[in-house]
Structure 1
């Protein structure tokens, strides 16, 4: 039926799956979002109709939507803004500025280089026990790096004023990777807005790029053959394992907080604890604007998800590991307008603080 149809369609036409992220993950009773090349769209529509599959066209003109994401005008000013999407040069300059302007709170550490030799920079904020958070592992999920920047801004702005944030930064170290997949992010800004992977060239094929999130599986079996970016992050995490108490990886879209496991239906050993904290995080997130989120173990919540970085980190021994899938549910997909950056970041902030506070209370010193 439907599953076979979608799989054969994906095979015969080059579909770009937005949600779930590949034909392999399509299951019954789940909405599927995909993008088709303009010259194939008529063809695909008639096939859907012949097979009596209900569909709607979300974007008639993708290029128009891409422009709309910048709220009417792409801003060419050189100023960094927390309410706009910033390209890599702006984010890079911003990391240096944050470290310079808040030397007691923020330090900038280079942990390695990407495939294209861009420096991978972590911002470290706070003290003692570590929460590691990465953003932008998939190049087209722009709301993710926007959130990492927002988080650092709030940390520096409210330290000493906001009781919870002050307590968190006094007791925890936040290691924040504002853009994990820098090469892919640059490519998404300059060449192909919907690029997902990194930019390495795979020796055995002429395809460019690897999905860094799935690359953790190969890091587990043979670290040497994995991607540069994965090696850098995984090595850093391994070197700080005894201190890292939580690992958060920020993605888009579908409004979920997921925890291990995604690659198997077996329950994580600390399932109940992970579930309870996820529920608290979702409740606090929803309390701000009523945004509806789902939560649960990845495999049963979205039926098999291959966010290996989260499952890998959990198997390495990090107690609290979560994948955030930020707004929205598919109306804008990866092209969330800039006007929604602020509310999205504010509600996500509440949820991240909830998890961090739980880690803080559980690991008092």
Structure 2
């Protein structure tokens, strides 16, 4: 029975043309949650996630663990088969959302408020912006704060020919002698709140540097390297064609479109939380660092380090789940030598975040709180990048009932405010340890 059910599900990889053509809609796609109760059920769910099922039909928003329900979407054509498969394995699935298209519909019809032009009136924080606009904002920062900010582009263009732009902030003349913190945002295309929150933080750092003690502390003690969108091709595609697109847009033929960039780094690559199917949303690529985007980050970090350890902090920003994840994510129980400091600083940063708007972020490793996954940038930063402290933030919301990846634009500023407080707290911890 099990083999037959899996075969029926797998046959569906030959999708009808309507699921590929035009702008992707998710009418009647359901969001399912299921809690594995034992190791056998956990293996069933892990196999379901990783053994080659096409992300056209199945998309895990939260991977399976024994502590937290797995959450995944399923297309209308596969719903009955999936429910049979889970029930056959003595699991009790729950339909959390009958139609995930409603999240997009609600977001589109949210009442547009007046542009939230904070600080120096450079960025409108009341809406999500396309990649071209974000790049223009970086230009605006460099033009308005030229003595301490400069816009740079990374070494290689993306598959679709885009440059990966970032901002350097330095209050000591870009001498390259001060310890640095790198922020990496937008590596998963659909996580729009990540670039938006980082734009808020960048805007606030620059515009309030001379008037706000927290911004002054952050900039006077560290140089900052800010990558607002690490996956520009995928991010643009999530705006134009498929709101839930996750990977980059590297096309290798057939159904092989895109690589999960946060599985592509050289950190126990290809060992856990990945799929060998190129159509999967957790496909890690053909080899470590195969993707231009990952190569760019690797070369940028190497350039910052210059053979030393100038880069003290690496902050990867994702959504959703409200978590601060500590390394390592590749294996349960595997921890870096300075794990206790990472944990203490993470807890303190989580408390600082909570004090802003009362949002509680859990603190722990990925395998403890979410799932094990190899090839992540936050693991790579310590294992290969010689960075001392690395964290992965999973921003608002906590649950899919609040929209999951489709967070209303009205959440941008509060999310940015609490993240700013958390980063300020980390800066204090890092500086006290220098």
TM over 0.5: yes
Question: Is 1:202 matched up with 2:252?
Answer: yes
**How many pairs are equivalent?**
355
Report what 2:363 is aligned to.
Answer: 295
Q: What's the secondary structure of 1:240's corresponding residue?
A: helix
What is the deviation of 1:220?
A: 8.0
Structure showing greater radius of gyration is 2
**Residues 187-246 of structure 1, C-alpha deviation per residue, up to 9 Å, x if partnerless?**
10001111111001236x641101111111289899896111111111110121232110
Report what 1:95 is aligned to.
Answer: 138
Question: Is 1:16 matched up with 2:59?
Answer: yes
What is the deviation of 1:39?
A: 2.7
Pick which of 40-49 and 187-196 moved more: 40-49
Structure 2 contact 194–395 (Cα < 8 Å) conserved = yes
Return 5+ residue gaps in structure 2 as ranges.
1-39, 116-121, 172-177, 271-285
Q: 1:8 to 1:354 in 2, by over 3 A?
A: closer
Structure 2 contact 266–375 (Cα < 8 Å) conserved = no
| C-alpha distance in 1 between matches for 2:136 and 2:161 | 17
What is the deviation of 1:116?
A: 1.5
Pick which of 164-173 and 38-47 moved more: 38-47
Report what 1:263 is aligned to.
Answer: 330
| C-alpha distance in 1 between matches for 2:184 and 2:71 | 25
Q: What's the secondary structure of 1:322's corresponding residue?
A: strand
Q: What's the secondary structure of 1:58's corresponding residue?
A: strand
Question: Is 1:183 matched up with 2:227?
Answer: no
Structure 1 contact 219–226 (Cα < 8 Å) conserved = no
Pick which of 330-339 and 61-70 moved more: 61-70
**Residues 281-311 of structure 1, C-alpha deviation per residue, up to 9 Å, x if partnerless?**
0111111222121112333343423362111
Question: Is 1:126 matched up with 2:158?
Answer: no
Q: Residue 127 of structure 2 is aligned with which of 79, 84, 96?
A: 84
Q: 1:70 to 1:104 in 2, by over 3 A?
A: farther
Q: Identify, as 1 or 2, the structure richer in helix.
A: 1
Q: What's the secondary structure of 2:390's corresponding residue?
A: strand
What is the deviation of 1:159?
A: 0.7
Report what 2:45 is aligned to.
Answer: 6
TM-score, normalization by structure 1: 0.88
| C-alpha distance in 2 between matches for 1:307 and 1:83 | 34
Return 5+ residue gaps in structure 1 as ranges.
21-25
Pick which of 317-326 and 33-42 moved more: 33-42
Pick which of 142-151 and 297-306 moved more: 297-306
Q: Residue 211 of structure 1 is aligned with which of 257, 260, 264?
A: 260
Q: What's the secondary structure of 1:57's corresponding residue?
A: strand
Structure 2 contact 264–375 (Cα < 8 Å) conserved = no
| C-alpha distance in 1 between matches for 2:379 and 2:230 | 17
Question: Is 1:325 matched up with 2:394?
Answer: yes
Structure 1 contact 252–328 (Cα < 8 Å) conserved = yes
Report what 2:421 is aligned to.
Answer: 350
Q: 1:306 to 1:327 in 2, by over 3 A?
A: farther
Q: What's the secondary structure of 2:154's corresponding residue?
A: strand
Structure 2 contact 167–226 (Cα < 8 Å) conserved = yes
Q: Residue 345 of structure 2 is aligned with which of 277, 297, 303?
A: 277
